[in-house]
Amino acid sequence: MSKGSITVHHAQGVLRLSCETGTPLAPLLRDAGLLALPCGRGQCGKCLIYADTPPTPEERTLLGPARLDRGLRLACHTLTRDGLEVTVPHEGELRVLTSFAGTTYDREPLVRRQPLAVPPGTLEDQRDDVRRLLAAAGADRHCLTLEQLVGLPALLRSGQPLDGLLQDGCLIGVRPQDHSLALIVDIGTTTVAALLLDVDEGRILSSLGEQNAQAPYGADVISRIQQEMAWEAGGGRGDNPLQAAICRQINAMLARLLAEAGREDVDFLSLTGNTTMLHLLCGLPGEHISRAPFIPVTLEAMRLPARRLGIDSQAECFLLPGISAYIGADIVASLLAADAHHPQPPFLLIDLGTNAETVLCAGGELLACSAAAGPCFEGATLSCGMAGQDGAIDSVTAHATEGLAVTTIGHVPARGLCGSGVLDALALLLDAGLVDETGHLEADDSPLGRRVRGNALHLAEGVFLTQRDIREVQLAKAAVRAGVEILLREANLSRQDIQCLYLAGGFGSAMRPRSAVRIGLVPREWEERVRVLGNAASFGALRYVTEKDAPRAARALIRRTRYIELSAHSGFADAYVEHMIFPLS
């Protein structure tokens, strides 16, 4: 090895990086923030770059001749050499759902503002600042942090009109008078959504969705935890890189939303996410989440100063409580968004991602499970799978002469397939009989059948769905359906008893129920009962801090939930095998 330098062309410009020659290129690009490494193991074929290097055998297998000819290579299989020039493809903006079905909510926020008139101290009234403040706020106690106390004397003597921030009769902050703002964040494994809420007006001022900045450390929660454990095992020097990544991202999102609103800070933050994401945010070790018996450090609701999490705000953070290692605070939030805390007929809620978190709610009792679907619905493991970004095929329909027609996000040339496109394509193949109930793919002479070549359906230039991809989807839908059936069985309910199927999350919102039913992901009985919740976790996190009884309701939901560990359930394997088959029609 010797010293050298490489040149990287990327969306924002050109970067020159020094390196040891002969070492893998991928970590270098990741550390420069230029590339995500979904699998981190050189197997997923996602770390695409353009480079003028001889393809390795793995690249030949993973990319195929068409991509290789276009100069595409995999960063994880490319070694550095002095003078190497590579180009990182522009991914486009990530489309993250920040809309949600719920539009109204009560306005009795967890933290409310109250104008304060704090009299100055005099020789006749020598009460300390805190006591004069509490008296003015009509509060009997406070939870001001040392940092807030440090700034208090100057603030009280600044002459500007002040508001007290109160939670449950406890003073938690003092601010210049203004509207109350809250930041709502849903930290997903794949995406992070943030909303800025004007609490007084009950209006969302603006929202942002971004790919989770931890993505370079792996596509799924297990890879992330392994990266954290590796850092820990290496002595844990410096900041925990995963914690630092999400923290920097939230800070950047908060700063951007505040700048747009022309404000300095929010009054409080509501944070939700799956159990692993909240562990990583808090710096809690995820090790025991990642392996049986799957024990989190804590699932309780937390309230702590934003600064303690490294978030640049004087405000308090409310972290929603979770149910288990794999039924997290995001699902609790989704349940709030689905009004699970109010009486309603039996329903099922599914958040379809790498795991299909599934909750059955009937007669006030809840049953929950988490089925490992793998990241195929999120585009991470399919040959041409990708997230819902510009260039992703998001719908596929029949076409008389061409066999099929596609639409893409952003109406730009197709670059890959996202989850809803995969379902459509597979449903089309099943309808046409080109895929049979066992999942076997075959060509025929129809316009669609002629698009099946080399064991893959060709959807667009360089974008295809392979036999292997179909197997992945088949395994994923089997896992999801097996989970659903186990819950029904445990609740002693039939599919007909379920009056509503709430779908939470981006994929659930984008997929066409007809296609989901056609491939057997959703039972036929429920096709008309599907209700899309959109970004349910964000809306639930919003309700958690703006509706008076939401925290109590969340606690009650959790208490009434029985979590079923599928890996330990005697009936799971049978149900899994049974649902491997695609429906005949």
In the complex, which residues of this chain contact its own copies (CB under 8 A)? 121-131, 146, 149-150, 152-154, 282-285, 287-288, 292-300, 304, 308-309, 324-325, 563, 565, 567-568
Nearer to its own copies, 497 or 565 (CB): 565
Structural tokens at position 242: 């995963």
CA-based nearest residue to 162, from 177, 141, 181: 177
Nearer to its own copies by Cβ, of 131 and 514: the residue is: 131
Query: Given the complex with its own copies, which of 4 and 121 has the nearer CB atom?
Result: 121
With respect to its own copies, which residue has the nearer C-beta, 282 or 504? 282
Helix 221-233 and helix 275-282, axial crossing angle in degrees, nearest 10: 30
Minimum CB separation of residue 324 from its own copies in Å reads 6
Report the distance separating Cα 246 and Cα 228, nearest Å.
13
Contact at 8 Å (CB) between 195 and 186? no
Least separation in angstroms between CB 149 and its own copies = 6
Contact (CB, 8 A) for 192 and 210 = yes
Structure-block tokens of residue 535: 């970004």
CB of 307 to its own copies, least distance (A): 11
**Helix H or strand E encompassing 137:** helix 129-137
Contact 391, 414 (CB under 8 A): yes
By beta-carbon proximity to its own copies, the closer residue of 45 and 305 is 305
Residue whose CB is less far from its own copies, 155 or 261? 155
CB of 114 to its own copies, least distance (A): 20
Looking at the Cβ atoms of 128 and 444, the one nearer to its own copies is: 128
Q: Using an 8 Å Cβ cutoff, are 409 and 391 in contact?
A: yes
- Contact by Cβ (8 Å): 378, 431: no
Measured from the CB of residue 484, what is the shortest distance to its own copies in angstroms?
21
State in angstroms the smallest separation of the CB of 312 from its own copies.
17
Beta bridge partners of 207: 195
Length of the chain in residues, anyone? 585
Q: How far apart are CB 551 and its own copies at their closest, in Å?
A: 15
CB nearer to its own copies: pick between 17 and 165? 165
Could you list the beta-strand ranges (E) of 353-461.
Answer: 355-362, 365-372, 392-399, 403-408, 416-417, 452-453, 456-460
Q: With 0-12 CB in 10 A as exposed, 13-18 as middle and 19+ as buried, what is 47?
A: buried
> 513: which residues sit within 8 A by CB, 6+ positions away?
522, 527, 530
At 310, the amino acid letter reads G
DSSP 339: T
Minimum Å gap between C-beta 282 and its own copies is 6
Pick between residue 54 and residue 120 the one whose CB is nearest to its own copies: 120
Range 564-574 burial, b when 16+ CB lie within 10 A, else e: bebeebeebee
Residue with tokens 């009054």: 267
Quote the least distance from Cβ 433 to its own copies, whole Å: 42
